[in-house]
């Protein structure tokens, strides 16, 4: 999510920076990456308690009123947090910029043995473009610096003919890491991934 989009989202819901971060960390925890939320709560000096932040998010309509926020000293399971569906949709739209940039920059076709093969078919894995963009945002932890690394790897892959698989494979298998490693090492000899189609 770009800084402009983050600010728009924060203004729309009157979020403090810490509240936006907590939302992102809970989203990641709900996708089996709870280590970031644990690290934040255990190593940061917070203004209030985590419960205070959750209560504030509930008052602002980010978290549904039906969710019972745990009392101080009781266990907190981020997977139980029930977000307002409208807010999630808004967050997905706001975080979609990076995913859309990836999609638009990705090559549309590759020629293999004289046949053009589409590289941008997302419909087998995602319901729509918003789902794809949100999945991309989650995979890079909504981090603009990570997005820049992905885009640099994508450009290197395009320049060197390394993209012989679809954008979904690039995203889900984190193929950009392989390309980044090749770019850093300078070793492209013998690389052929056409069999991956």
- Domains of the chain, residue spans: 3-83, 86-196
DSSP bridge pairs for 110: 117
Average pLDDT, the chain: 86
Residue 68 confidence (pLDDT) above 60? yes
pTM, rounded to two decimals: 0.60
Mean of the pLDDT values across residues 128-142? 84
pLDDT of amino acid 2:
65
- SS3 of the chain: the string is CCHHHHHHHHHHHCCCHHHHHHHHHHHHHHCCCCHHHHHHHHHCCCCCCHHHHHHHHHHCCCECCCCCCCCCCCCCCHHHCCECHHHHHHHHHHHHHHHHHHHHHCCCEEEECCEEEECCCCCCCCCCHHHHHHHHHHHCCCCHHHHHHHHHHHHHHHHCCCCCCCHHHHHHCCHHHHHHHHHHHCCCCCCCCHHHC
Write out pLDDT tens, residues 79-102: 999 999 888 777 766 667 788 899
Which band of pLDDT confidence, cut at 50, 70 and 90, is reported for residue 28?
confident
CA distances from 75 to 43, 51, 69, 78, 80 (A): 18, 11, 10, 10, 11
CA–CA separation, 3 vs 13, rounded Å? Answer: 15
Mean of the pLDDT values across residues 56-69? 94
Alpha carbon of residue 28 to chain centroid: 9
CA–CA separation, 30 vs 19, rounded Å? Answer: 16
Alpha carbon of residue 69 to chain centroid: 26
Q: Roughly what angle, to the nearest 10 degrees, separates helices 85-105 and 144-159? A: 30
């Amino acid at each position: 999510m770009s800084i402009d989009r983050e600010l728009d989202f924060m203004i729309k819901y009157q979020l403090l920076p810490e509240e936006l971060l907590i939302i992102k960390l809970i989203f990641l925890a709900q996708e089996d990456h709870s280590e970031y939320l644990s690290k934040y709560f255990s190593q940061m000096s917070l203004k209030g308690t985590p419960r205070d932040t959750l209560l504030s998010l509930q008052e602002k309509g980010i978290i549904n009123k039906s969710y019972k926020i745990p009392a101080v000293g009781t266990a907190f399971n981020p997977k139980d947090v029930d977000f307002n569906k409208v807010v999630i949709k808004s967050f997905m739209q706001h975080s979609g910029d990076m995913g859309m940039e990836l999609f638009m920059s990705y090559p549309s076709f590759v020629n293999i043995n004289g046949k053009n093969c589409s590289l941008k078919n997302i419909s087998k894995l995602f319901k729509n473009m918003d789902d794809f963009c949100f999945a991309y945002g989650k995979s890079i932890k909504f981090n603009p610096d990570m997005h820049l690394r992905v885009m640099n790897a994508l450009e290197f892959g395009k320049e060197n003919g390394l993209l012989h698989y679809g954008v979904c494979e690039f995203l889900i298998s984190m193929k950009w890491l392989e390309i980044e490693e090749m770019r850093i090492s300078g070793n492209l000899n013998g690389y052929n991934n056409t069999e991956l189609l």
